[in-house]
Structure 1
C-alpha cells in the first residue's frame, strides 16, 4: 500500500486533486446556515369558534388532545385556550416525518365533531424567519390591498420563500356602522338590519335548465356591486340603509400594531422553506426588491428591518478568520520545531487538502455548512497536521542514511501503525454520537461528522500523499537556523531524560501525586456552571412587554411607545421597531421591540452587558412586565426564556400557589431576572343575566337576544361585495362612539313575536366581573409555566435551587413538574455526553487491545483522557466559563486528541521491549525519540486554537470556552503523559507480560 503510493506519484496526486475539486464544488453548493438544521417536528392546531374560555377548553381543546394523544411519536402536547380561540402545539420525536405527522393528526381530527373546523400548520424551526420587511404608506387602505393582492403573492413566488407572517395587516372590508338614534327612532335593531341586508345581498344556486342539446346552471347574483347599491337597500317604506347607518370602505378592527421610527405600517416576516440555503434565499429576496417596489408603487415605502444573513456571515467570517490565523500560527510552530522549509511546506499541504476535501464527505452525509462545521475544522487543524508532522519527522531521520524513496517507505512503515491507531482512536470517540437522537445530539452530530471527515481525509493525505511527496521534495540538509538552534533542543532532550529517570525511580510516589492533582481538578467540576448555549454577541436583542392589566390598543400604544422611545435614544441602538399583539392570539396586552444594535466597534458595551443594563433600567416601568432577551437560537420552538418550568395538576388554585412559592424561592437568590408566568391575568367582562320569567312573559327569545348583541358589538359578517376584482366582507356593527360606553347595552331594543320593541334593561341585569383570560395545558394536564431570565448564574445552578426546594414548592398537593426549553435540553446534553464518553472509551479500549494484542497497554494509553479532563476543568474554572453544549463537544474531541501522545510513547517502548531491551531503557529511548514530535504536535494544536480562544469577535462567548477547554486539556495531558505513561508502563509491564502468557500460544 505504502509502496504503491510512493512508486505511483501521479496516480496519488490525481486522487487528491479530485478530492479537492469535489470539496470545492461542495463548498459552493452546500446550504449555509448559522446553526445545524434543528428540525423539531411541530404541528400547530388552531381552532376559532364562538364560546367562552371554559367552553373552548372542554369542547375543543380537550377533545382535540384526547383524539390525537395516541398518534405514534408524540413527545409533548402544549395547549392554550382563550375566549373564542384554541391553540394546540404538538411536538413529535426527532426523526418523525412532518408530512406523515400532519396526516396522522388530520385523520384523528376527522373522527371527532368540533364546533368549528381546526386548521393545521406544520412548523419547522429550520424554516424560520430570514428577512423582515416593513411597509408603510399614507393611504392605509391602498397599502393593505397592495399587500394582499400584489406584494405577498409576488414574494411567495421567490425561490426558497415559504410562509409569510403579516403583523398589523388589516383586512379591507365594507363597514356598516349603525346609528343608535336612528334605530331607536324607527324601532329596529341590529338583527333586523342584518336579516334585511342578507335577504338583499347574496349569491345562490337556483337550479338547472336542460333541453335536448344544452344544460345550463342557473345562479342568482344578487350581491351589491358598489356602496351606492348597499346604501339603497330598503329597510321599510321610505327608509333605506343609508338613513340608519354610515357605509364606507375601511379596515378590520385593529388588534395589532407595528411601528418603525415614527411610521406605523405592516411587518412581513418571510420564512424560508426547510432545507433551502438561507444565504441564497436572502439574496433572492434582495435581488427582487426593485421589482417589488415597482409593483408596490412609489407611495409604499419598503425597508428591510431584519436580515439573518448579516448574523450568519458575521459568525462564519469570524470563525474562518480564526481558522486562517490558526493555520498560520500552526505553520510557524512546525517550522520552529522542524527548522526545515521543505518539511514545513509538505506539512502545510495537509491542511488545505484536508479542510477542503472534508466538505466533500460532509456534503455526502447530508449536512450543511454552518458555524459548528467550521469551528470543528478549526479545532481539528492540529489533528490534521499531527500525522503529517510525525511521518515527515520519521522520514527525515531515515533520509540521513537511506535513499529518498527508500527513506519514505521505511519512515512511513515504522510510524504507520501508530498513525492508524491515533486515527482509529479519534474516530471511536465520535461513533457513539451517531446514536444521540435529541436536539443536543444534532449539534454533537454536526461537529463529530466534520471532525471525523477531516480525520479520514488527513489520514489518507498523511500516509499516501506525504510519503510520495517527501520521497521527491524533502530536503534533509541542515539549515543555518537548524544548526544554531539545535543545542536548545538537545538541552531539552537531556532535561527530559533526567526528569524521566527520577520519575521512573519514584514511580509510585509520582503516580499517587498525579492522582491527587487530578482529583483536585475533578473536584472543581461541581463548582463550574452548566448551560445549554451561552448568550452571544449577535448585535440584536428583543424586548418583550406585557401589560399587567387588559388594555385597549390605544392605551397599550401609549405605554409601549414610552419604552420604544427610550430604547431608540440609546447610543448603542442602530434602530428598533415595535409590534403590539404580535402572537397567534393577537393579545393586545403583549408587545415586542426588536432592537438592532450598532456594530461592536461603535458601542461601549457588548450585547450581554447591554441586555443587563436595559433590563435594569426598564424595571422602573411598574405598570409593565418587561423582559430583555437575546433572539431565540432555535426559532419556532417557543424557547425565549432560558428558564422554563411547568407545574402540572388538576387543581388550578394549587398550581397557582405552587408557582407563587417557586417565585418566592427564586427571588431569594441572586441571578434570576424578570421572573414571570404564563397564567394570564384576569380579564374584565360584562355579564348579562336574563330574567327568564320576564323574558318569557314579554315573548323574548334568548337566542335572538344573543344575535342582536352579536350583530351590535361583534363585528359580524352579513355578506360579501365584489368591487374592482376585490372581494370584501360586509361587516355590521354599531358606530364606534356608541360601543365605547358599556351603559349603551341598556339602550339595546329587542323584538318579541308581536313585533313590539322592548329595552334590554327591562329583562336583564348587568354586572362586572373578572375571569381567566386563558388556560394552559401540558400533556392533557392543566399547567402554569414559570419563566425567567438569568444573569451570572447557570442553568445547572437553577436546577439545583429548584430541586432542593421541590418538596416546599409542590407542597402536599398532587402536583408534578416538567422542564421546558433549555432546561429540558440540559438532561439530553448531559446524558448524551456521558453516553458518548463511556461508549467511546469502551470502543477505544477494544480497538487498542486489538491493535496491540494486549489487555493492559490500552489502559496505560487511556490514562491521558482523565488527565486531559482535569486540565479542561481547571481551564474552564479559572477563566470563569461554564460547561455548555459547545464545551462538552470540545471535551469529546479532546479525548480523541490526547491519546496520540501516549500511543507514540507506548508504541515505541513496546517495540523495544519486544526486541529484548530493558523496560527502563526502552522508556528512556521512547521518550527521547518521541519528545520533539509530541511537543511539536501539541504546540501545533494549541497554537491553531489560540485565535479561537483569545478572539473577542462575534460568537466568542461560545467559541472561546471550547478552545480553552481543549488547550488546557492538551497542556495537562501532555505534561503529565510524558511522565505518567512511562511510570505506569514500567509499573504494569510485568503484569502485561504475565497476562500475555495466558492467552498467547504459538501461532498456526
Structure 2
C-alpha cells in the first residue's frame, strides 16, 4: 500500500513550505501567549450552604438546621457527596456534584431548595449564604507585613485599604485575603456592676446605639417653591459625642453613657495571631484568576509590592510561601529536560546515519512537531502546566521516530545508487503505510485518555490532547517536510553499495533470527517463561496514588483541646517554632494561632506552622525525610494533636467511616485506631473527631419565664452581646474620613469570664422591664462537642496518620487486613473518600481505558492490514513491554501509582511500532512472491536499523527524566523508568519473538481460511476482479 502524499510535497514544495511556515509562526505566537500554571484548570461543581445562628451549640445546629438542609438538597440529580461541618453557631454544608454538572445550574438548584425550606428553619438564623466554590483558585502567594511603628490593627487596615486595592488592579489577581490581624473598633464596655445597680440591659444599650447613631432619610418638603429632601443626621462625629449619649434609667431620669461605660477606639479581641520567625505580623494571601499565568501574576504582584515598599519604608513586606516558585522550577526543569532529551535524540540519529545533513532533517522534525502543538493548546484554552509539559517531555523521542524511519529508508535507497530526489520519491511512499499505522496506533492509545470520566479523567484530558496533537503533527512532518528536505538537501552517495552489503552486527542478528525460526517452539517457550517471570514480579511493587512531592514547603496543622484561648495556642506553637528554628533545612517559619473556619468562624484552639525549606538541591534530605525527622519534636507536647498536610491540605493517610449511631461509631474508631497504631509505617495514628469543649449551660426555668414574661431569645442575646459582642453586620457604625468602624458593645474582658457577673446581668421582658438572669435561669458547667462532621447524611469520623516507608496502597491494604477492621459493627461503614477514593477510581478508570485502547488499536490495525490475524502478532509486543517495565520498576524500587500508569499507557502506544515495521515488510515481500521465512529474514535485515534507532532515540529522550533531580522529579522519574524498561524488553524480544509469533499466526491463518471458505461462495477469482 503506497501513500502518494510525500510525492506531492516533493514535486510541489511551495505549498508545504507555506503550510509549515504558518504553523510555526502560529506555534511561536501561541507559546508566548500560553499561561504557566501548576495544574490543569478543572471546574469542580461544589456548592456550599452556610447558615449562622449566634450562640447555638453544634448539636442544636445539627438537628435544627443541618439535617433539614441535607434532606432538602439530597434529591437534586448528580450529587456525589454531601458533607457538613457544624461548629458553634455555624453550619456549613458542601454539596459536591459530578464533574459533568454545570456549577451555575447546580447553584440555582440548591438555592431553590433552600428557599422552599426557609420557613421551616429557626427564625433567628442569619440568611443562608449559598456560594459556588472555586477550587482552582487557591492562594498562590502568601505574604507577611510587619512594622516597628504600627499596631496590628493599623497593619490590618493597611492590608485591607492599601495593599488589597493595589494588588486587585494587577492583571490576573482574583482576590486578596487578609490572614489574621485585628479590626479597629469603637469599644463600648459597660461596667456590669453599674448595669446591675441601675437594672439596665446591655442589649438595650446596644439597640439604643443602633437606633440613635445613624443617618436616615425623612422624605421631602416644599419650601419657598423649592423641593427639599429631609435628612436625619444622627451619627456622632467623635468618640466624645458617643460618650455624651443619654440613657433612660426610669422615672424620667437619664444618665450619660460615659458614666457607666468605658468608651475608646481600640481593636477587636484578637482571635488569630500570626508570627513570622517569632515576630508579630499580619498575613495576606493572593489568589489568581482562572486561566491566568502563575508566573505573570507573581511578577505583577511583586512589582506592585515593591512600589508600596518604596512609598512605605516603615513597612516590611516579606514573602512567606509561594506555589509559584515550585511551578517556575517545574516549568524550567521540564523545558531543560525537553531540550536535553532532544539533544540526546539527535546524537543517536547522527551516530547511526553518520550524516549531518540527514541528522539535520531528522532534527527539524522536533520543532516543527512541537510548535503546532502549542497552537492546538491555545485552541483548547489549555495552559503550560505539569500535565501538558509532561506530555511533551514524554513524546520528545517519539516525535522524531517517524522522521527517522523516513530518512533511514531514503538514505538506504541513496546508498544503493539512487539520486536523492528519486530516492525520496520511491522510499518515502514505500514506507508511508507503516508510518501512518504507527502514528494512528499511538493516537488510538492516548486519545481515549481524553474521555476518561471522573476527576482523574478531567485532570488528564490535556495530556491525551497534547500527545495526540504532537504525534499527528510529527506524522505530517514525516510525510511532507522530511521527504521534501531529503530530496533537496541530501547528497548522492560517494560509495555506492552495489552488492547490498550487510553490516556485521546485522548479520549476527540475522543468524540469531534464523536459529529462532528453526526452533520456534523453544523460542516461544522462552518468551512465555520471561513473560510469566516478569509479570509475577509485580507482587514486589507496592501500590500508591501519587509519589511524595517536594515543594520545599512543609505544612503542620496543630490542634489543642477546645476552649484553649488563642494566646495559649500561640505560645505553644511558638515553642514548637523555637525548637525548629536552628534546623539548617528551614528558611523561615510562619505560624498562625486561630484557624479560620467557614463563615468567618475562628477555631482558637487550632493553629498551623508553615515551614519554608531550602531548595531540594541545597539540603541533604527530601521534604518527606525532613518531616519524619522532626516528628519527635512535635510529639513532646502531650496536649497537641498534629498532622502534616500536603500541598492540597490533604493528609498522607486517611480512612473515613460513617455511622448512624454516633456512640457506636466513636467506640469502633478508637478500637480500630489502637490497632492501626501497631501497623509498622503508620505513625501518629489518631481518630479525627472533635474534642470535647467546656460549656456553660444556661437552663431557663419555665415557670419563672412565664411569670416574668422573659423569652429565651432575649437571654441568649444578652449573654452573646455581653461576652462576644454583636456581629459586624448588626453593629452600629462610626464613620471616619477614610473608613467605618463598628461600635462594639461588650463587657470588659475581666468581667465577661466571671459566671457571677453573667448571672447578675439583667434581661428585658416583653414589657421592657428588666430582671436578673439568675431569677429565670441557672448556669452550670458541662462538656459538649466542639464540632460535628457529617457526610452523605451520616456522622463521619476519620483515622489519620503519617506514612514512613509505606505507600498509601500498602497502608490501606494492611489496615483492611486487621481483625478490628473486618469486625466493624453493622452501623459503621467505610467510605471511599479523599485520596483513597481517587486511587481506587484511578485504577478502575485506567484499567478500562487500557482495554478500550487495545481494542481500538486492534480495530485500526485490522482496517489498515485488512486482516484479523496478523494484528494479533503486532499486539504481541505489549505483554513483553509491560514485563520489562515491571522489572525496571522493581530494580528502581518504585511503586505502581499515577505516573507509572501513565508510563504504561505510553508503552502501549509506542511498542507496537517495531511489530508494525516488521509485519508490514513481511507482508509486502510475501505479496512479491518471497517465501515466508525468507520474507521474515529480509524484514529483520531491513528493519532492524530503524527499529534500533527509534528505540534508542526514545530512550535518549527520556534519560534526562530519570537523572534530573528537583521539582516534580519524583513524579517524572518512575514514569520514565517504566517506559525505558518496557522499550528495552519489547525491542530485544520483538526482534526475535514477533517473527516467531508471525509464523505461528500465519500457520493458524492457513488452517482457518479453508474452514471459513466453506461458509461463503466468494472465490479467489471473485477477489481478483478489479472494480472500476
Pick the TM interval, shorter chain: over 0.9
Once the two structures are TM-superposed, the CA of residue 18 in structure 1 deviates from its matched residue by 1.6
Cα distance in 2, alignment partners of residues 815 and 206 from structure 1: 62
**Matching residue of 2:949:** 936
Once the two structures are TM-superposed, the CA of residue 815 in structure 1 deviates from its matched residue by 2.7
**Matching residue of 2:984:** 971
Once the two structures are TM-superposed, the CA of residue 372 in structure 1 deviates from its matched residue by 2.3
Unaligned ranges ≥5, structure 2: none
**Matching residue of 1:5:** 9
2:134 maps to which of 105, 111, 124: 124
Cα distance in 2, alignment partners of residues 823 and 708 from structure 1: 47
2:575 maps to which of 533, 542, 562: 562
Moved more, 568-577 or 442-451: 442-451
1:430 maps to which of 442, 446, 450: 446
1:830 maps to which of 804, 825, 843: 843
Cα distance in 2, alignment partners of residues 407 and 225 from structure 1: 94
Cα distance in 2, alignment partners of residues 568 and 618 from structure 1: 13
**Matching residue of 2:419:** 403
Q: Does 2:360 match 1:345?
A: yes
Q: Does 2:1027 match 1:1002?
A: no
Moved more, 304-313 or 904-913: 304-313
Retained in 1: the 8 A contact 2:387–2:460?
Answer: no
Q: Does 2:897 match 1:884?
A: yes
Once the two structures are TM-superposed, the CA of residue 991 in structure 1 deviates from its matched residue by 2.3
SS of equivalent residue, structure 1 residue 524: helix
- In the TM superposition, what whole-angstrom CA distance separates every residue of 1:51-74 from its partner, at most 9, and x where no partner exists? 222231122222222222233332
**Matching residue of 2:557:** 544
**Matching residue of 2:486:** 470
TM-score where L is the length of structure 1: 0.94
Moved more, 328-337 or 50-59: 50-59
1:319 maps to which of 318, 328, 334: 334
Give the 3 Å change call, closer, same or farther, for CA 574–752 of structure 1 in structure 2.
closer
SS of equivalent residue, structure 2 residue 363: helix
Once the two structures are TM-superposed, the CA of residue 676 in structure 1 deviates from its matched residue by 3.1
1:41 maps to which of 45, 48, 53: 45
**Matching residue of 1:255:** 271
Cα distance in 1, alignment partners of residues 309 and 818 from structure 2: 58
Moved more, 621-630 or 923-932: 621-630
2:883 maps to which of 870, 882, 887: 870
Q: Does 2:151 match 1:133?
A: no
Q: Does 2:699 match 1:689?
A: yes
Give the 3 Å change call, closer, same or farther, for CA 191–418 of structure 1 in structure 2.
closer
Once the two structures are TM-superposed, the CA of residue 759 in structure 1 deviates from its matched residue by 5.3
Moved more, 253-262 or 237-246: 237-246
Cα distance in 2, alignment partners of residues 465 and 889 from structure 1: 30
Q: Does 2:741 match 1:719?
A: no
Moved more, 419-428 or 138-147: 138-147
Correspondence list, 1:11-30, <5 A: 11-30=15-34
Cα distance in 2, alignment partners of residues 453 and 175 from structure 1: 64
Retained in 2: the 8 A contact 1:611–1:629?
Answer: no
Once the two structures are TM-superposed, the CA of residue 680 in structure 1 deviates from its matched residue by 0.5
SS of equivalent residue, structure 2 residue 967: coil
Q: Does 2:241 match 1:229?
A: yes
Cα distance in 1, alignment partners of residues 369 and 765 from structure 2: 87
Cα distance in 1, alignment partners of residues 219 and 377 from structure 2: 64
SS of equivalent residue, structure 2 residue 136: helix
Once the two structures are TM-superposed, the CA of residue 754 in structure 1 deviates from its matched residue by 10
Once the two structures are TM-superposed, the CA of residue 718 in structure 1 deviates from its matched residue by 5.1
Once the two structures are TM-superposed, the CA of residue 416 in structure 1 deviates from its matched residue by 0.8
Retained in 1: the 8 A contact 2:617–2:966?
Answer: no
**Matching residue of 2:653:** 643
**Matching residue of 1:636:** none
**Matching residue of 1:782:** 795
Q: Does 2:958 match 1:948?
A: no
Cα distance in 2, alignment partners of residues 146 and 912 from structure 1: 81
Give the 3 Å change call, closer, same or farther, for CA 995–878 of structure 1 in structure 2.
same
Cα distance in 2, alignment partners of residues 521 and 464 from structure 1: 41
Give the 3 Å change call, closer, same or farther, for CA 443–418 of structure 1 in structure 2.
same
SS of equivalent residue, structure 2 residue 612: strand
Give the 3 Å change call, closer, same or farther, for CA 146–808 of structure 1 in structure 2.
closer
Q: Does 2:321 match 1:306?
A: yes
Correspondence list, 1:100-499, <5 A: 100-113=105-118, 114=121, 115-137=125-147, 138-198=150-210, 200-209=212-221, 217-235=229-247, 236=249, 237=253, 239-293=255-309, 297-399=312-414, 400-477=416-493, 490-499=503-512
Give the 3 Å change call, closer, same or farther, for CA 196–941 of structure 1 in structure 2.
closer
Retained in 2: the 8 A contact 1:701–1:752?
Answer: yes
Once the two structures are TM-superposed, the CA of residue 450 in structure 1 deviates from its matched residue by 1.6
SS of equivalent residue, structure 1 residue 582: strand
Moved more, 164-173 or 907-916: 164-173
SS of equivalent residue, structure 2 residue 750: helix
Once the two structures are TM-superposed, the CA of residue 883 in structure 1 deviates from its matched residue by 1.4
1:500 maps to which of 499, 509, 513: 513
Cα distance in 2, alignment partners of residues 774 and 33 from structure 1: 36
Retained in 1: the 8 A contact 2:545–2:809?
Answer: no
Cα distance in 2, alignment partners of residues 883 and 832 from structure 1: 15
Cα distance in 2, alignment partners of residues 381 and 142 from structure 1: 54
Correspondence list, 1:513-524, <5 A: 513-524=526-537
SS of equivalent residue, structure 2 residue 435: helix
**Matching residue of 2:96:** 91
SS of equivalent residue, structure 1 residue 775: strand
Retained in 2: the 8 A contact 1:700–1:753?
Answer: yes
Cα distance in 2, alignment partners of residues 497 and 754 from structure 1: 109
- In the TM superposition, what whole-angstrom CA distance separates every residue of 1:395-422 from its partner, at most 9, and x where no partner exists? 1121232222111011112211111110
- In the TM superposition, what whole-angstrom CA distance separates every residue of 1:552-574 from its partner, at most 9, and x where no partner exists? 11111111101122233211111
Cα distance in 2, alignment partners of residues 126 and 8 from structure 1: 49
Query: RMSD of the alignment, in Å?
Result: 2.6
2:920 maps to which of 882, 900, 907: 907
Tell me the matched-pair count.
993
Cα distance in 1, alignment partners of residues 911 and 47 from structure 2: 45
Cα distance in 1, alignment partners of residues 488 and 204 from structure 2: 100
SS of equivalent residue, structure 1 residue 313: helix
Retained in 1: the 8 A contact 2:677–2:684?
Answer: no
SS of equivalent residue, structure 1 residue 91: strand
Cα distance in 2, alignment partners of residues 608 and 701 from structure 1: 57
Once the two structures are TM-superposed, the CA of residue 703 in structure 1 deviates from its matched residue by 4.9
Retained in 2: the 8 A contact 1:543–1:629?
Answer: yes
SS of equivalent residue, structure 1 residue 175: strand
Retained in 1: the 8 A contact 2:561–2:693?
Answer: no
- In the TM superposition, what whole-angstrom CA distance separates every residue of 1:910-946 from its partner, at most 9, and x where no partner exists? 1112222221111111111111111111111111111
Unaligned ranges ≥5, structure 1: 633-638
Retained in 2: the 8 A contact 1:854–1:996?
Answer: no
Once the two structures are TM-superposed, the CA of residue 694 in structure 1 deviates from its matched residue by 5.5
Cα distance in 2, alignment partners of residues 281 and 307 from structure 1: 12
**Matching residue of 1:635:** none
Retained in 1: the 8 A contact 2:556–2:644?
Answer: yes
Retained in 2: the 8 A contact 1:167–1:582?
Answer: no
Give the 3 Å change call, closer, same or farther, for CA 985–301 of structure 1 in structure 2.
same
SS of equivalent residue, structure 1 residue 401: coil
Retained in 2: the 8 A contact 1:134–1:265?
Answer: yes
Cα distance in 2, alignment partners of residues 219 and 316 from structure 1: 61
Cα distance in 2, alignment partners of residues 4 and 756 from structure 1: 100
Cα distance in 2, alignment partners of residues 966 and 416 from structure 1: 26
